[in-house]
Amino acid sequence: RPPPVLAGADWSAALSLPETESWLAHMSGRVAQLGREVQRDVEGVRTELHLKQFKEICVEVSGRSECVRSLLGTEFPLRLLSPACAVPGAVRRAGQRWHQLRVSLQVLRERLLRESNGRH
């Protein structure tokens, strides 16, 4: 039985760290690509398509948010178990990438709203 401080951690989330890191990198790339496409669409011809793509990305991010939160919840218990282990640092980096992804989505959302309101 794990000590009480470790009992609440979702260890399966920690095991999914490589997959989560890969997914975060992929999603960050998709958001960056969509941002570039929006920036190139000076005429606003593809605004509806961009909004649709943005919504698809948001749905996928929302679907993974619980998994990422569970993963982030393992950082402290992992640090207690093995302070010299590299996994807590990897979890922290995944948390930073998660935060960066959420900020990028917010910035892109504002840009898309500004673009769509300016065109209609």
80-108 per-position pLDDT tens digit: 777 677 778 888 999 999 999 999 999 99
Radius of gyration of the chain (CA): 18
Given a contact cutoff of 8 angstroms between Cβ atoms, the answer to whether 72 and 20 are in contact is: no
Helices (H), 1-120: 4-7, 11-15, 17-40, 47-72, 75-81, 87-119
Given a contact cutoff of 8 angstroms between Cβ atoms, the answer to whether 49 and 112 are in contact is: no
14-73 per-position pLDDT tens digit: 788 899 999 999 999 999 999 999 999 988 889 999 999 999 999 999 999 999 998 888
Given a contact cutoff of 8 angstroms between Cβ atoms, the answer to whether 50 and 41 are in contact is: yes
Question: Is residue 14 packed enough to be buried (19+ CB in 10 Å), middle (13-18) or exposed (0-12)?
Answer: buried
Model-level pTM? 0.81
Q: Give residue 97's pLDDT.
A: 96
Residue 6 has pLDDT above 80, yes or no: no
